[in-house]
Structure 1
Amino acid sequence: MRTGPRHPKRAMVTGLTVAAMAVASTVTLTAEATPSYAAACNGYVGLTFDDGPSTSNTPKLLSALGQNGLRATMFNEGQYAAAYPAQVRAQAQAGMWIGNHSYTHPHLTQQSRSRIDSEISRTQQAIANAGGGTPKLFRPPYGETNSTVQSVEAKYGLTQIIWNVDSQDWNGASTDAIVQANARLTNGQVILMHEWAANTLAAIPRIAQGLAGRGLCAGMISPQTGRAVAPN
């Protein structure tokens, strides 16, 4: 795995690509998830936000997503889920999907199996205890994975989710660049974003407009395929 340059919070992997299979479907959006300018979906993409929750960023992100008719998958760190359970509940109540992003965001491929197990299991418990349900999706920190990490994921019934498009918001990408990254998404694909990135927050209205203009809607990530699909 290649890692990108380190930013003030942490480095992330760039350039990872998950092959996308072309699957198109058309459904009418439900009212609570429908941007005012979109009537139907001809495909779905997975918007993902790592590193939450927090009292400073989560409320603003949920508000922006809700105002623009978007749902997303929140890959939460266990340490923050334990510290801010009300924000986990807020994510769930807002219709977001909640995934596991480890407890302390270590480089898992450098850890022992027991440490990997602890990082994953404690996060499963922290999110469940906070009212976020039991995650079915796992995003390894930095996108770094190996057979041991994948074996522990399987033990907890988790599907590993990397990404097709990296917004580069962790690397100081501008709002325009983040909007352009989302514009590269095609049906079934997943994009990496972060809940603490101010430019990402600013980009959300334009992301919603861009997706609607291409007949794409924000979907859930299937635990079976790892692809974005129509919400349940």
Structure 2
Amino acid sequence: MRTSTRMPKRIFVTGLALALAATTVATNAAPASAAACNGYVGLTFDDGPSNGNTPALLNALRQSGLRATMFNEGQFAAAAPAQVRAQVSAGMWVANHSYSHPHMTQLSAAQIDSEISRTQQAIAGAGGGTPRLFRPPYGETNATVRSVLARYGLTQIIWDVDSGDWNNASVDAIVQAVGRLSNGQIILMHEWPANTRAAIPRIAQVLASKNLCAGMISPQTGRAVAPS
């Protein structure tokens, strides 16, 4: 009888100890995870979305636990609205990259307005929300572009580091470019180069080695910050 009465107590005590240990581990895990981010960088991908490239890019980013800002062209958002929704569902931020990727500084104010407004409408119509960020094609801008952006409440975003993926950069070169990022900085990449998609797992490793996390781009400062 003593054995039968003592065993439940031992089981209860052991179970309680395990539960307390698990609670302690869980409690300690959250601060450790948060402390791993000593800064944030902005991963950006231009020229999407497309039915051919977007799914593979999103899959690579999800598997590596990365989030990024997608600078979409309006013409492509209108043609592939499901991919805009997929970007949002994958936790990405959707932004404006003009409608047809022209040299903005060669356009009139009315033409610039059309490029921007049609893209805002295409992205919103596809379920991507109303963009708050704009990246001028080729990084070309002037006072007229900035004045039109102001009317739409858009913040212009260029970049601090160019991955060179648009110029056939190798996977190694793209990863090395990411390694040059520091807190708050932004890197230019594109969704269509195969080497960029192949580099994603190593990009995640490089950022982790530097205790940097992939963040959002603040519309207030234009810098990478913690996701809100």
TM-score, normalised via structure 1 length: 0.84
Counterpart position of 2:206: 210
2:112 aligned with 1:116: yes
Q: Are residues 1:149 and 2:139 paired?
A: no
Larger of the two Rg values belongs to structure:
2
2:131 alignment partner in structure 1 = 135
Q: Residue 107 of structure 1 aligns to which amino acid in structure 2?
A: H
The correspondence of residues 78-93 of structure 1 with structure 2, limited to 5 A, is: 78-93=74-89
1:49 aligns with 2:45: yes
Q: Shift in Å at residue 196 of structure 1? A: 0.1
Q: Which residue among 100, 103, 107 is the counterpart of 1:104?
A: 100
Q: Is residue 220 of structure 2 the alignment partner of residue 229 of structure 1?
A: no
Give the superposition deviation at 1:40.
2.2
Q: 1:105 Cα deviation (Å)? A: 0.2
Tell me the number of residue pairs that the alignment of Structure 1 and Structure 2 aligns.
Answer: 198
Structure 2 distance, partners of 1:221, 1:130, is 21
The yes-or-no answer on 1:70 pairing with 2:66 is yes
Q: Report Cα offsets for 1:82-130 as digits up to 9, x if no partner.
A: 0000000000010000010000000010001100000000000000000
Inter-partner Cα distance in structure 2 for 1:157 and 1:219: 21
Task: Please list, as runs of the form range in 1=range in 2, the aligned pairs for 1:193-208 lying within 5 A after superposition.
Answer: 193-208=189-204
**Cα distance, 1:59 vs. partner?**
0.1
Structure 2 gap ranges (5+): 1-29
**Equivalent-residue separation in structure 2 for 1:40 and 1:100 (angstroms):** 31
Percent identical across equivalent pairs? 79
How far has the Cα of 1:39 moved from its partner? 6.8
Aligned to 2:10: none
Segments of 4+ moved more than 6 angstroms: none
Cα deviation digits, residues 147-176 of structure 1 (max 9, x gap): 000000110000000000000000010000
- One-letter amino acid of the structure 2 residue matched with residue 207 of structure 1: I
In the alignment, the residues of structure 2 paired with residue 50 and residue 148 of structure 1 have an alpha-carbon distance, to the nearest angstrom, of 22
The one-letter amino acid of 1:187's match is N
Residue in structure 2 matched with residue 18 of structure 1 by the alignment: none
Q: Which runs of 5+ in 1 are unaligned?
A: 1-27
**Hey, what does 1:12 align to over in structure 2?**
none
Alpha-carbon distance change, 39 to 56 in structure 1, aligned in 2, over 3 angstroms? farther
Higher helix share: 2
